[in-house]
Chains A and B, each alone.
Chain A
Amino acid sequence: MDVLDLARLQFAVTGSLHFLFVVLTLGLAPLVAIMQTRALISGDPLFERMTRFWGQIYVINYALGVFTGLVMEFQFGLSWSGLSHFAGDVFGAPLAIETLVAFFLESTFLGLWIFGWNRLPKKLHLACIWLVALTAYASAFWIMVANSFLQNPAGSVMRGDHLALTDFGALLTNPSLVMAFPHVIGAGLFTGSFVIIGGSAYHLFRRTSEQEFFRRSLRTGVLWAFIGSTLAVGFGYAQFAFIGELQPDKFKGAVPGTALGVMILIGQLIQFIVMLGMLPLLFRNLLARFRWVHPLLMIMTPLPFVAAITGWLVREVGRQPWLVYGKLSVADAMSPGLTKGMITLSFAAFVGVLGLLAVVDYVLIARTVRRGPTRLDLGAVEPAEPSPTPALAL
């Protein structure tokens, strides 16, 4: 592999890892916020335990979303400095807005939420998770604005050797954005609810002591899987008209063509299963009672993740060889002076470290699911003990 291939593969691997974790973050954040809202309104301790249990899974998953996101943000400058030289005046704006108005607030409010359990007033603590969810969606929006510009460089003109921003509104109404953003939101809800369904099915199948807890979780999961899959599939098909006009050859290659087929197969199949199978079986909790179905529900958990990755493969591989469609090729965007030694070093560092941490993170999520809601770190209070006087000698 030459330098260009390695640089592309590095970005593809970090990007794919990033989205595996981000798609679950996007799905779980609003669902956890809804659980906590129900806990506050009803006063039912079950909802508080649901918030803490699914919230802990959300938070463990969140860690890798951040790690991979950091590496991605800096990789633009490391490997693809040609992009900032050519299109930085346009592409940089949504990225800068994302970091300042969305992620900055998301991270700050998440810290307040994680460490504010039992410390902040209950209503303010609830407000924190809603702000986290809101800013997570704002973050997704601005990233999609930036990505849609690469797909269809709207709102800009060539001036000398680079693109200049002429109409920011055109970036926000970019045809590549308007259907793709709700598609991603749907995919997030779809993924988040399938994790809830899969985890609940495990406990229902094993007949652990938390039957009521996971029956209620399963109901929430199925309901949101229906909403999410409908959004994802509907806004998925809605993109075809635009893509046919903007990038007519998008699906011609072997990779995007196959990926598109896999994504549609998964999306369509699961949508039917959710709508015609799972949703009607919520009647009298039949789905929770039919024990033979639960292994199937568990096996289906990874499918939305596969669909999400194939979706990005379609979108990103399908625009090759362009980085900014029709204007700047990927090869021309590579940083001048990038050597094989440099890219090999960073490839080993990033892909090695992130890959290992991703495996650890999934093991931790699986352990948390298996252990159930009995002993949770998130929102825990220790029984009173003789407090050690923390007069650290400094």
Chain B
Amino acid sequence: MEIIWLTVFAVLLIGYFALEGFDVGVGMLLPVLSRAGERAGEPGTRQQHRDRLVAAMAPFVLANEVWLVAVAGTLFGVFPALEGTVLSGLYPLVVALLASWVLRDAGLWFRRRIDGGAWRAFWDAVLCAASWGLALSWGAALASVVRGLPAQPFDLPALLYGGVVAAAFAFHGRAFMAWKLSGPSESPRTGRRLLLSAVVAALPVAVPLAVVIPSMLDHVAPSATLNVLSLFVLPVVPIMIGAQVWVWRAFGPSGSTGAAARIPSFF
């Protein structure tokens, strides 16, 4: 039972990086990719390029970011002794991560709610800056966990690892856009590249996790607690997987052409 729940935790955390990584990456690259579109001579203003980028990732964000909520819940339920130690040990980084997360989401939810270029450009800037904040604070947090939660988490290794995570997310975000905007003939190739970039995005968390996971086994909740979790959660897992698969089937590349292209994005 311990192994099952340890696996669930690992899958959720790695899955969060592999999935939400491209949303964060697209957010980070918003100015770069919109300018690239402009240089390539595509029609539309820079704002319209940004709209197209955000619209491409928008249907996936809610289904992706929720993996981290599940990570936090699992941490509390399965490793209660660790939850407080790790989160309070990473205090300033968790605060930065949460503030970035909230602001990134606010950028998405608010950018189209009022007409006008300044409003949307402002929230796009928030979206981009907060996506960078998310990637960098994740990198610093992982660097801190691996080194046993040092008292001063802001140092050079933390910054460097933040750069690694940011680079992996940016790579993933670019691969996602290539896949999402590809036609039927290229989508198998871009799809394979997206899988590869998902692995790249997951590596920065998978490696530290492999280092700390043996020590996590000592902090698993007692079997009475795990049995309750299994009873209520495991029967629902097929529905969770089914819902996630549905998102990918509904909003794949074919959805961005033809009639579906005329559906304005909510984000």
Q: Please report A residues at the B interface, Cβ cutoff 8 Å.
A: 59-60, 63, 66-67, 70-71, 73-74, 76-85, 88-93, 95-101, 103-105, 107-112, 114-120, 164-166, 168, 335-338, 342, 345-346, 349-350, 353-354, 357, 360, 364, 367-368, 377-378, 380-385, 387-394
> Quick one: which of B42, B77, B247 contacts A388, CB cutoff 8 A?
B42
| Residue contacts A-B, CB under 8 angstroms, 16 given | A63-B105, A63-B106, A71-B102, A76-B84, A77-B84, A84-B76, A88-B76, A107-B65, A108-B244, A109-B243, A111-B61, A112-B247, A115-B265, A338-B91, A349-B99, A353-B102
| Cβ contact within 8 Å between B36 and A78 | no
B127 partner residues in chain A, CB cutoff 8 A: none
Query: A92: which of B80, B174, B178, B251 is its contact (CB, 8 Å)?
Result: B80
Expressed in whole angstroms, the Cα–Cα distance for A146 and B86 within the complex equals 21
Q: If A78-B95, A345-B95, A389-B42 touch, does A99 touch B70 (CB 8 Å cutoff)?
A: yes
A382 lies within 8 A of B264 (CB)? yes
Question: Which residue of the partner chain, among A92, A349, A360, A367, contacts B76 with CB atoms under 8 Å?
Answer: A92
Not counting A85-B84, A88-B81, A107-B62, a sample of 6 additional A-B residue pairs whose C-beta atoms are within 8 angstroms of each other reads A78-B95, A96-B233, A97-B77, A103-B69, A392-B40, A394-B33
3 closest Cβ pairs, A-B complex? A88-B80, A81-B84, A96-B77
Please, which residues of chain A bring their CB within 8 A of the CB of B266?
A: 59, 114-115, 377-378
**Cα distance, A63 to B101, chains bound together (Å):** 12
- Decide: A391 and B181 in contact? CB cutoff 8 A: yes
Find residues 132-153 in chain B having any chain A CB closer than 8 Å to their own CB. Answer: none
Give the Cβ gap from A274 to chain B, nearest Cβ, in Å: 31
Tell me if B117 counts as interface (CB < 8 A to partner A): no
Bound Cα distance from A390 to B52, whole angstroms = 8
Of all chain B residues, the one with the shortest Cβ separation from A360 is B110
Residues A95 and B59 in contact in the complex (CB < 8 Å), given A70-B69, A345-B95, A349-B95:
no
Query: For this complex, into which size category does the number of interface residues on chain B fall?
Result: 35 or more
Distance in angstroms from A79 CB to nearest chain B CB is: 8
Q: Mark B53-88, 1 if CB is under 8 A from A, else 0.
A: 000001111110111011011111110110111111
Are A97's CB and B232's CB within 8 A? yes
CB proximity to A under 8 Å, residues B85-100: 85-88, 91-92, 94-96, 98-99
Q: Please determine whether A99 and B74 come into contact, CB atoms closer than 8 angstroms.
A: yes
State in angstroms the CA–CA spacing of A383 and B262 once bound together. Answer: 7
A84 with B250: CB separation less than 8 A: no
Q: Are A98 and B113 in contact (CB under 8 A)?
A: no
B116 within 8 A of A: no
Partner pick for A100 among B177, B233, B265, CB 8 A cutoff: B233
Given known A101-B233, A116-B250, contact A107–B84 (CB-CB < 8 A): no
Separation in Å of the B26 CB from the closest CB of chain A? 11
Task: Assess whether B239 is interfacial by the CB under 8 Å rule.
Answer: yes
A91: chain B residues within 8 A (beta carbon): 76, 80
Chain B residues with Cβ under 8 A from A380's Cβ? 263-264
CB nearest neighbor in A for B106: A357
Chain B 172-204 interface 0/1 with A at a Cβ cutoff of 8 Å (1 = within):
001001100100000000000000000000000
Point out the residues of chain A lying under 8 angstroms from B88, CB to CB.
Answer: 77-79, 81, 335-338
Taking a contact as CB atoms under 8 Å apart, the answer to whether A350 and B99 are in contact is yes
Contacts of A97 in B (CB 8 A): 73, 77, 229, 232-233
Contacts of A166 in B (CB 8 A): 224
Q: What is the bound-complex CA distance between A354 and B106, given in angstroms?
A: 10
With A342-B91, A350-B99 as known contacts, state yes or no: A115 contacts B69, CB within 8 Å.
no
Among candidates A60, A99, A349, A382, residue contacting B72 with C-beta atoms closer than 8 Å: A99
| CA of A364 to CA of B228, assembled, Å | 42
- Which of chain B's residues have a CB closer than 8 A to the CB of A357? 102, 106
Contact yes or no, B95 A346, CB < 8 A: yes
**Would A392 and B36 count as touching, CB distance under 8 A?**
yes
Contacts of B98 in A (CB 8 A): 70-71, 74, 349-350
Report the minimum CB–CB distance from A363 to chain B (whole Å): 9
A367 touches B251 (CB 8 A): no
Q: Which residues of A contact B247 (CB under 8 A)?
A: 108, 111-112
B114 to nearest A CB, angstroms?
A: 7
Closest partner residue, chain A, to B224 (CB atom):
A165
Q: Are A104 and B102 in contact, with the CB atoms below 8 A?
A: no
B residues less than 8 Å from A389 (CB atoms): 42
For the complex formed, measure the closest distance between the CB of B37 and the CB atoms of chain A, giving whole angstroms.
Answer: 5
Given contacts A335-B84, A388-B43, contact A393 B37 (CB under 8 A): yes
A77 contacts B62, C-beta separation under 8 Å: no
Inter-subunit contact B87/A104 (CB<8 Å): no
* Interface contact B60-A78, CB-CB below 8 Å: no
A100 pairs with B70, CB closer than 8 A: yes
CA distance A380 to B265 in the complex (A): 9
Q: Contact: B102 with A354, CB < 8 Å?
A: yes
Nearest CB in chain A: distance from B73 CB, A: 3
Contact B66 A108 (CB under 8 A): yes
Q: Are B73 and A100 in contact (CB under 8 A)?
A: yes
Question: A104-B66, A108-B244, A353-B99 in contact; A84/B83 too (CB < 8 A)?
Answer: yes
- Give the docked Cα–Cα distance between A70 and B113 (Å): 22
Q: A44 vs B39: C-alpha distance in the bound complex, in angstroms?
A: 47
A108 vs B262: C-alpha distance in the bound complex, in angstroms? 23
Contacts of A349 in B (CB 8 A): 95-96, 98-99
Which residues of A are found within 8 Å of B264, using beta-carbon distances?
Answer: 377, 380-382
The segment from B156-164, B205-213, B253-261 found at the interface with A is: B253-261
A89–B94 alpha-carbon span in the complex (Å): 23
B102 nearest CB neighbor, chain A only: A67
Residues of A contacting B69 in the complex (Cβ-Cβ under 8 angstroms): 70, 73, 99, 103-104, 107
**Complex Cα gap A381–B263 (Å):** 5
